Amino acid sequence: MKSISLLHHTWLLAFGFVLLWNSGFIAAKYALPYAEPLTLLFWRYWLLAFILFGYLALRRRLEWPGTKAALIASLIGILAHGVWLGCVFYSLQYGVPAGIVALVVALQPMTTATFSGLVVGERTPLLRWAGLLIGLAGVMVAVLARTELTDAASVFAYFIPFGSVAAITAASLIQRRIEVKRDVHRMAVDLGLFYQSLGTALAVTIPAVLFEGLVTEWNPVFAGAMLWLILGVSLMAYALMWLLIVEIDATRVASLFYFGPPVTMVMAWVAFGDRLLPTDLAGLGIVAVGVVLTLLKTQARPAAAG
């Protein structure tokens, strides 16, 4: 019964993470017309850092974890928040179609699976590889049907989303290694998010001021989008992601990113009236099969008798 309860708990975490994470694309689409990418990151993460500071202070849980632990958390934040989102925002700004961006970002499970064994020492079973490949096929069905390969954006712009893949993969593997090795630099999720947010805010401040001047058009749409990006995505989605990384291996957490393109398309249909194609639903179904295979636990083969 305990294992069944844990499985249900994990699936609920995964479901909540997928919905909240992908809602960030919708909120960003509302916010970006009123602020440049680095400026958007500036406001988002300074506000988030202040909210977390107040929360931790009220709970009497605000503490200095040590220089090395703070630097590690800041590095994870810069990678998983600043670089990941910055690359996504800039690729969209330079005219790369959202479908192409989503497709490239969805390659993260493959990179995570490739490097997980080297960094964390976790073996990726053949069944999980099959799930990853099926999930990638589902993403391609949903996204490539919408892709315009004749887009006029520069060739360089198409490589920007690969920075997102590299950043979030590295952040996931660093965090997973800390958990697996029971590293002394482990922190509670909320305290870790605070130092991640603070590191991200500090990292984007100078370039946001120098290159964008922090020009922002404050209005109800921008304020609402910013509020959701902070509370719904930066707080809740990232917290769920780190909780999942604690419970299951990095490869299976990364496989949830396969839901990104189809789920985002459904959300865009609800929010903006974007037309939903039959291939979107087909891709979502294929992705679901792949993720189920990826999340299944495999039994280790018994050693042969000598």
Looking at every residue in the chain, the average pLDDT score rounds to 81
pLDDT at position 303 is 37
Domain that holds residue 188: 2-295
pLDDT at position 179 is 67
Length of the chain: 306
Short-list 175, 163, 207, CA closest to 41? 207
Evaluate whether residue 200 is within a structural domain: yes
Give yes or no for a contact between 222 and 47, defined as CB atoms under 8 angstroms apart.
no
Annotate 37-65 with b (16+ C-beta within 10 A) or e (fewer).
bbbbbbbbbbbbbebbeeebeeeeeeeeb
Give yes or no for a contact between 198 and 141, defined as CB atoms under 8 angstroms apart.
no
Our count of domains for the chain comes to 1
pLDDT at position 252 is 73
Q: CA 248 to CA 32: how far, in whole Å?
A: 34
Evaluate whether residue 305 is within a structural domain: no
Evaluate whether residue 301 is within a structural domain: no
pLDDT at position 5 is 54
Evaluate whether residue 304 is within a structural domain: no
Evaluate whether residue 211 is within a structural domain: yes
Evaluate whether residue 300 is within a structural domain: no
Evaluate whether residue 183 is within a structural domain: yes
pLDDT at position 219 is 96
**Residue 228 vs residues 6, 46, 233, 287: alpha-carbon distances, Å:** 29, 15, 7, 26
How much is the pTM? 0.79
pLDDT at position 251 is 64
Q: What is the pLDDT of residues 241-274, one digit of tens each?
A: 777 877 776 667 777 877 878 887 788 888 877 7
pLDDT at position 185 is 62
pLDDT at position 234 is 83
- Sites in the chain below the pLDDT cut of 70: 1-8, 95, 97-99, 113-114, 117-118, 120-122, 147-156, 179-185, 249-251, 295, 297-306
Give yes or no for a contact between 257 and 171, defined as CB atoms under 8 angstroms apart.
no
Evaluate whether residue 55 is within a structural domain: yes
